[in-house]
């Protein structure tokens, strides 16, 4: 067993924008008050287990490049323990308040589900100890219902009800564990819930199965008394061509159809928004407007690549608009910012994990400070208020209050020879204004 994987690296500190130290925060000053809370409490950042500790740095063309000690051949449970120790050493040195995991990231799958459950229980015991020792908390847990071959045609939406049952068994286990570990939320990303071709797929039936599955998850959550949010993570494609949880609007319609809109919120991933043809800000605003905003996966994509590249955020100005939308609405309740992000494959040094997360946290911090200025200044808010001011006056109120029929409106325009006067949208001026805050 390696003594300390990140031994050469000292805990990361805030040193301010002037610092020349690449292993220090320039903006993420966790105790600084922003909009009434500490930066740490506003951002609620989480490190994910799968990309940072489970993934070996492989891609479709090549093998793993990282070769961490726990990636070597050996007793899988021993390696899982080693991985656990390294993960918590990293969380602690980075100063991350939260982490996230899938069942299969932390413990190896056994020959039977019973064996898998046992493996998980043994690792979770150690995890609980590590959480107590470090004070690092669980932002959310989730079940991996997509990697194993049994899930090749989906989990809840599988043509075979036995697969549905197996998936249910995994969710029971991980939801219980999340509850036991004091997790703040539970996530369901659609995995392989979607399809490739209607030649072999009964879409209606599959959607009904998914509705049933989610209802069962809700029932179980209440049965065990889990108080966190249940979160669905929309994604338009990958791995399947048509993912059922395409985007926030699709998920919202689905939830309403199955009468689950009060039980689920969304975990919005930045690059999933882009893949769906939206901006991240659009997805966040849509969720907030409809009361289903929950949490964020804060990894970015690449505007030239049409897949989920899971890169660390590093553009503070891009962050600023999203964070403006989020914090203007009050920010997170139980959600947070999960770095569902991975290193590029050639970034093989342990240090690279720190650079990636430091850059991510600093970008979020700068975005948050910019959002704070935008909110406190109030100019952007004023522009919107004035733009819609007519709706607060007599005519607008009459229409919205249902006190004007189409025929009455027609008469009003004809009687008064009404000719509305177009006004400038001032987009360029507003973009310039935003740049002044950045
Ligand atoms: C995949 C998803 C996945 C979820 C957790 O694209 O982002 O990583 O966040 O299952
Ligand atoms: Ni994600
Ligand atoms: Ni993703």
Q: Whose CA is nearest to atom 4 of ligand 1?
A: 189
The active-site residue, picked from 103, 105, 308, 362, is: 105
pLDDT at residue 2 in the model: 47
Same domain, 167 and 100: yes
**365 with 402, same domain?**
no
Query: Which among 145, 189, 231, 280 is the best mutation to test ligand 1's pocket, defined by most ligand atoms within 8 Å of the CB?
Result: 189
Q: Which residues crowd ion ligand 3, with CB under 5 Å?
A: 269, 308
> In this structure, is residue 4 part of a structural domain?
no
CA of 247 to the centre of ligand 3 (A): 12
To the nearest 10 degrees (0 to 180), the angle between helices 350-377 and 76-94 is: 40
Report d(CA 106, CA 87) in Å as an integer.
10
User: What confidence score (pLDDT) does residue 326 get?
Assistant: 98
> Which residue, 327, 353, 377, sits at the end of a domain?
377
Q: Would you call 315 a catalytic residue per the annotation?
A: no
Q: What is the pLDDT of residue 303?
A: 87
Q: Which atom of ligand 1 approaches the CA of 338 most closely?
A: 9
- Reported as a single tens digit per residue, the pLDDT across 39-93 is 999 999 999 999 999 999 999 999 999 999 999 999 999 999 999 999 999 999 9
DSSP calls for 348-407: -SHHHHHHHHHHHHHHHHHHHHHHHHHHHH-HHHHHHHHHTGGGGSHHHHHHHTT---HH
Indicate which atom in ligand 1 lies nearest the CA of residue 269.
7
pLDDT at position 196 over 80? yes
Alpha-carbon distance of 241 to 238, in angstroms, equals 6
Distance CA 373, CA 385 (A): 18
Q: Which two tokens stand for residue 410?
A: 């027609």
Show Cβ contacts of residue 395 under 8 Å, excluding neighbours closer than 6 positions. 404, 412
Residue 10 lies in a domain: no
Question: Measured in angstroms, how far is the CA atom of residue 234 from the centroid of ligand 1?
Answer: 9
Residue identifier of the C-alpha nearest atom 8 of ligand 1: 340
What's the 184 CA to ligand 1 centre distance in angstroms?
17
Distance 129 CA to ligand 1 centre (A): 26
Identify the domain boundary among 355, 377, 399.
377
Q: Residue 27: inside a domain, yes or no?
A: no
- Based on the fold, state whether residues 371 and 413 are members of the same structural domain: no
- Note whether 254 and 340 are same-domain residues: yes
Q: Which ligand 1 atom sits nearest the alpha carbon of residue 235?
A: 6
Residue 12 within any structural domain of the chain: no
Please tell me the distance from the alpha carbon of residue 33 to that of residue 35, in angstroms, as a whole number: 7
Q: Which residues, in sequence order, are CB contacts of 32 under 8 Å at separation 6+?
A: 38, 39
351 and 421, same structural domain? no
Residues 260 and 162 in one domain: yes
User: 47 C-alpha vs ligand 3 centroid, how far in Å?
Assistant: 14
267 forms beta bridges with 295
Distance (angstroms) between ligand 3 centre and the Cα of 340 equals 7
**The pair of three-digit structure tokens given for residue 28, joined into one six-digit string:** 């993420």
CB 342 less than 6 A from any atom of ligand 1: no
- 223: its two tokens: 């049965």
Q: Please state, in angstroms and rounded to a whole number, the distance separating the CA atoms of residues 177 and 189.
A: 18
148 SS3 class:
coil
Q: Indicate which CATH number applies to the domain containing 255.
A: 3.20.20.150
Cα–Cα distance for residue pair 72/234, rounded to 1 Å = 34
Q: Are residues 318 and 412 both part of a single domain?
A: no
Q: What percent of the chain has pLDDT over 70?
A: 99
How many angstroms is it from 79 CA to the middle of ligand 3? 26
Inter-CA distances, 397 with 69, 290, 390, 410, 417, Å: 67, 22, 9, 17, 21
pLDDT digits (tens, 9 = 90+) for 113-126: 999 999 999 999 99
pTM score, whole prediction = 0.97
Helix 113-134 vs helix 76-94: angle between axes, to the nearest 10 degrees? 30
Count of the separate structural domains present in the chain: 2
| 310 within ligand 1 shell (Cβ under 6 A) | no
Same-domain check for residues 315 and 255: yes
Q: Phi and psi of 208, rounded to 5°?
A: -65, -40
The finding on whether 269 has its CB within 6 A of some atom of ligand 1 is yes
Q: pLDDT tens for residues 300-345?
A: 999 899 999 999 999 998 899 999 999 999 999 999 999 999 999 9
Cβ–ligand 1 contact at 233 (below 6 Å): yes
What ligand is nearest to the CA atom of residue 102?
1
Query: Closest residue (by CA) to atom 2 of ligand 1?
Result: 189
Closest CA to 263 of 211, 313, 305, 314: 211
pLDDT at 1 over 90: no
> With a 6 A CB cut-off, is 283 part of the ligand 1 pocket?
no
| Structure tokens given for 37 | 């809370």
Quote the Cα angle for 45-50-55, to 5°. 135
Q: Is the pLDDT of residue 3 over 90?
A: no
SS3 268: strand
Rounded CA-CA distance 245/281 in Å is 18
Distance (Å, rounded) from C-alpha 87 to C-alpha 49? 7
Tell me if 333 is assigned to some domain: yes
- The bridge status of strand 194-195 relative to strand 242-243 is antiparallel
CB of 308 sitting under 6 A from ligand 1:
yes
- As given in the structure block, the two tokens for residue 297 are 């996966």
Residue 293 Cα, ligand 1 centroid: separation in angstroms? 17
| pLDDT band at residue 373 under the 50/70/90 scheme | very high
Q: Quick check: is 102 catalytic?
A: yes
Structural element, H or E, at residue 141: strand 137-142
| Residue 92 is assigned to a structural domain of this protein | yes
For residue 45, is it within any domain? yes
How does the average pLDDT of the chain come out, rounded?
97
Q: Which of 377, 401, 418 is the last residue of a domain?
A: 377
Distance CA 152, CA 148 (A): 7
The tens digit of pLDDT for each residue in 261-292 reads 999 999 999 999 999 999 999 999 999 999 99
Atom of ligand 1 nearest to the CA of 100: 5
Identify the sign of the CA torsion 280, 182, 217, 197: positive
Are residues 400 and 364 part of one domain?
A: no
Q: Are strands 37-38 and 33-34 parallel, antiparallel or unpaired?
A: antiparallel
Number of alpha helices (DSSP H) and beta strands (DSSP E) in the chain: 16, 14
The answer to whether the CB of 339 falls within 8 A of the CB of 299 is yes
- pLDDT interval class at 250 (50, 70, 90): very high
Does the bond joining 239 to the residue before it have cis omega, within 30 degrees of 0?
yes
Q: Which of 47, 233, 243 to mutate to test the pocket of ligand 1 (most atoms within 8 A of CB)?
A: 233
* Binding site membership of 82 for ligand 1 (Cβ less than 6 Å): no
- Nearest CA residue ID for atom 10, ligand 1: 189
Q: Is the same domain home to 330 and 431?
A: no
d(CA 235, CA 216): 22
Which is the closest atom of ligand 1 to the Cα of 238? 6
| Whether residue 425 sits in one domain with residue 371 | no
pLDDT at 310: 97
- Whether residue 19 lies inside any domain: the answer is no
SS3 245: coil
Span 409-416, mean pLDDT? Answer: 98
Q: Which residue has the tokens 């553009």?
A: 315
pLDDT single digits (tens) 198-249: 999 999 999 999 999 999 999 999 999 999 999 999 999 999 999 999 999 9
Give the atom of ligand 1 at the shortest distance from the alpha carbon of 146.
Answer: 10
* Judgement on whether residues 366 and 398 belong to the same structural domain of the protein: no
Helix (H) or strand (E) holding 229: strand 229-233
Give the domain range for residue 303.
33-377
């Amino acid at each position: 067993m390696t003594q300390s994987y990140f031994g050469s690296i000292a805990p990361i500190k805030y040193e301010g924008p002037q610092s020349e130290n690449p292993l220090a925060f320039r903006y993420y000053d966790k105790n600084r008050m922003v909009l009434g809370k500490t930066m740490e409490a506003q951002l609620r950042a989480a490190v994910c287990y799968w990309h940072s500790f489970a993934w070996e740095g492989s891609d479709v063309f090549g093998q793993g490049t990282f070769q961490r000690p726990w990636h070597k051949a050996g007793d899988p449970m021993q390696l899982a323990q080693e991985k656990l120790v390294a993960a918590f050493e990293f969380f602690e040195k980075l100063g991350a308040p939260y982490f996230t995991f899938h069942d299969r990231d932390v413990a190896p799958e056994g020959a039977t589900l019973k064996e898998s459950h046992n493996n998980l229980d043994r690792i979770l015991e150690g995890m609980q100890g590590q959480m107590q020792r470090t004070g690092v908390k669980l932002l959310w847990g989730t079940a991996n219902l997509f990697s194993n071959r049994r899930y090749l045609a989906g989990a809840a939406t599988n043509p075979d009800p036995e697969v549905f049952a197996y998936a249910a068994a995994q969710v029971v286990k991980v939801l219980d564990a999340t509850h036991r570990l004091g997790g703040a939320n539970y996530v369901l990303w659609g995995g392989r819930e979607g399809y490739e071709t209607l030649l072999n797929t009964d879409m209606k039936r599959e959607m009904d199965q998914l509705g049933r599955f989610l209802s069962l998850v809700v029932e179980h959550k209440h049965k065990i008394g889990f108080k966190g949010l249940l979160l669905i993570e929309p994604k338009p494609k990958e791995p399947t061509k048509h993912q059922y949880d395409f985007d926030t609007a699709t998920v919202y319609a689905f939830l309403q159809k199955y009468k689950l809109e009060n039980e689920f919120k969304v975990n919005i991933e930045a690059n999933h928004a882009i893949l769906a043809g939206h901006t991240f800000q659009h997805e966040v605003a849509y969720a907030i407007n409809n009361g289903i905003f929950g949490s964020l996966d804060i990894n970015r994509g690449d505007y030239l690549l049409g897949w989920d590249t899971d890169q660390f955020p590093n553009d503070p100005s891009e962050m600023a608009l999203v964070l403006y939308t989020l914090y203007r609405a009050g920010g997170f309740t139980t959600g947070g910012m999960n770095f569902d992000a991975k290193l590029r494959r050639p970034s093989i040094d342990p240090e690279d994990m720190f650079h990636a997360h430091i850059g991510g946290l600093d970008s979020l911090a700068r975005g948050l400070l910019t959002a704070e200025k935008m909110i406190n200044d109030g100019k952007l808010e004023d522009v919107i208020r004035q733009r819609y001011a007519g709706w607060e006056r007599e005519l607008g109120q009459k229409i919205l209050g249902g006190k004007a029929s189409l025929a009455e409106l027609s008469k009003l325009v004809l009687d008064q020879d009404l000719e509305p006067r177009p006004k400038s949208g001032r987009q360029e001026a507003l973009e310039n204004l935003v740049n002044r805050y950045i």
